[in-house]
Amino acid sequence: MKQGCKTAESAGLWYGTGKVLFPVVAVFLFSGCVSRFNVITGMSELLDDRGVYPSIEVDIAALTDKEVDEIKSLGVEGYFSPGNTIRRRIEPFTVFFSNEDTTPATLLFDDIPWKTWMRKKPKTLFIIASLPPAEEEADERMLFLPMGRTVLGVRTKYIRIESNKIVEVYERPLDPRVQGASKEE
């Protein structure tokens, strides 16, 4: 054995009766496959303008690299234009928020859209919202998140729709009407 090299046994990878089971489980857990996520999307309180929440359409889809390039070249207005064949082709999960419905929406990892998207071996989770453009140079009404690999279970992505951008957050979005009411108490 070369100096400085460890065998699996000397590295502590073999444990008693788990000599066969542990390596098999480790390979299974850490090889992973492209991740599917629970995606929970909600509105920000910042969208409350004069007491009225605007109507917003949000699409979520898993994309290939080619589809990412196509959508980036379209921009938000082109994506939401009538007759956009790319939008139809990617088969997005669409969520509608309005003054009548501000409840966060959930796309579960085992819902039908994921089964459709996974057939094409996607690499990017895509979220786009029909928001008015920001005055800044960067257009943050589209969000592209790398899907990566799963290592131990399902992950959840939390997405918040703000007045002119989409952001990934690290806690479950709340209904802004409920959230605002709890702050007043």
pLDDT band at 150; cut points 50, 70, 90: low
Tokens linked to 153? 């279970």
How far apart CA 157 and CA 177 sit, in angstroms, is: 22
How do the domains of the chain map onto residue ranges? 35-184
Residues 82-93 have pLDDT tens digits of: 989 999 999 999
Pairwise CA distance, residues 62 & 71, whole Å = 12
DSSP states along 103-149: --EEE-TTSHHHHHHHTT---EEEEEE-PPPPSSSS--SEEEEE--B
Segment 41-72, tens digit of pLDDT = 999 876 666 667 788 999 999 999 999 999 99
Rounded alpha-carbon distances, angstroms, from residue 166 to 1, 8, 20, 139, 161: 54, 46, 47, 10, 5
CATH of domain 35-184: 2.60.40.4150
Structure tokens at 176: 């802004």
